[in-house]
Amino acid sequence: MSDQVNKEALFNEVKGSLFEYLVGLKLAQRANQELDFIQNIDKNYLAILGQQDRMVRQFYPEMLSFLNEASTKGQETLCAKYGENWVSIKLLGKLSSSQLQSDFKETDLLLVNEFGEQLLLSLKLNKKSAFVNTKSAGVKSFLTQYFPYLNPSFQNEFSNTIDLEFKVMGDELYHQYDLEFNGNFNEWVKNGYSELPGELAESDRDILKKYYARIAKTLHRILSTAFKENPEAFKKSLYPLMGFSDPRIIQLICFHDFKSQGESVIEIHDFKDVVDEDITIRDFKDIASIEVESSRWVLQIRIKPMNKFTTTAMKVNCAVKFK
């Protein structure tokens, strides 16, 4: 069981970056650009990819054949839709310069054709039927960063709510163990209790779930106000949350069923697929997430811990499902 859990963790850690690399490599091989493609990858990132490849070969060899099949299917689908006359294929990767990230947003592969036209490709490897993760942001800058038309007082209110709810959650957890909460979890750690949500007792996890739900409720109210105040600006603010900070982005998603070795399905979405006039915010359901819906998609906005729950540093995780 432990071995399987470790394999799953490895899979989640490396699947995305190796998938991006393999799709790029196969596009480059098809265009006789393999050497240029490899030479253009940041040297530090290339070393990381090499380490990941060796780990997979050693500990999880069946994943390599899956990634090969998925990346082959991905590049074939892309070429069938957009042609294959690429004169430049660049993997931007996780270690791109900040200027490149600023220019190309969520782009994983930058393709240039013979006419100098760019294709900004964002690649996702995703479980079948699951929401596709598109954006993650810190809770204390989320509104100012993605809804800049809102008065800054809304972000201040949201940040203050997080601080207050953190204290309520701390009091409730400490009370379970006859301890007194003084604003931090130092005593909790000293007593040997875990800081990871998944390692808590069920009653403790319930306290955490309610804590995240209360924060999500405040965010739901603020977003509902933002929508009412300026529907057009609100809609435009959603596009970056869905992975389309640049309207030139093309999302290629490989939906897989790796565990049961089912066949992968490739979907391609562009900016036209997310633009929709018919948008609603679903009623709040007392859980940690908010859902914004259109006739074409559902955007889930979820409150999550960064890793440990013992700090107010949390994230807003955004994920999309196309209908």
pLDDT digits (tens, 9 = 90+) for 148-177: 999 999 999 999 999 999 999 999 999 999
Share of the chain above pLDDT 70, in %: 94
CA angle 28, 132, 4 (to 5 degrees): 85
Shared domain check, 149 and 102: no
Average pLDDT, the chain: 91
The confidence score (pLDDT) of residue 240 equals 96
The confidence score (pLDDT) of residue 290 equals 97
Strand, coil or helix: 111: strand
Shared domain check, 310 and 186: yes
Give Cα 136 distance to the centre of its chain. 6
Domain boundary among 85, 110, 127: 127
Q: Which has the minimum average pLDDT: 90-104, 203-217, 237-251?
A: 90-104
Quote the CA–CA distance of 289 and 216 in Å, as a whole number. 6
Shared domain check, 314 and 166: yes
Domain that holds residue 58: 2-127
Structure-block tokens of residue 106: 């969520």
Contact 122, 251 (CB under 8 A): yes
Please state the domain count of the chain.
2
Q: Tally Cβ neighbours within 10 Å of residue 159.
A: 17
Shared domain check, 192 and 77: no
Domain boundary among 95, 127, 159: 127
User: pLDDT tens digit string along 202-218?
Assistant: 999 999 999 999 999 99
Q: Are strands 289-294 and 262-270 parallel, antiparallel or unpaired?
A: unpaired
In-domain check, residue 8? yes
In-domain check, residue 253? no
pTM of this prediction? 0.90
Shared domain check, 120 and 189: no
In-domain check, residue 265? no
In-domain check, residue 186? yes
User: pLDDT tens digit string along 107-148?
Assistant: 999 999 988 999 999 999 999 989 999 999 999 999 999 999
Q: Does residue 100 carry a pLDDT above 60? A: no
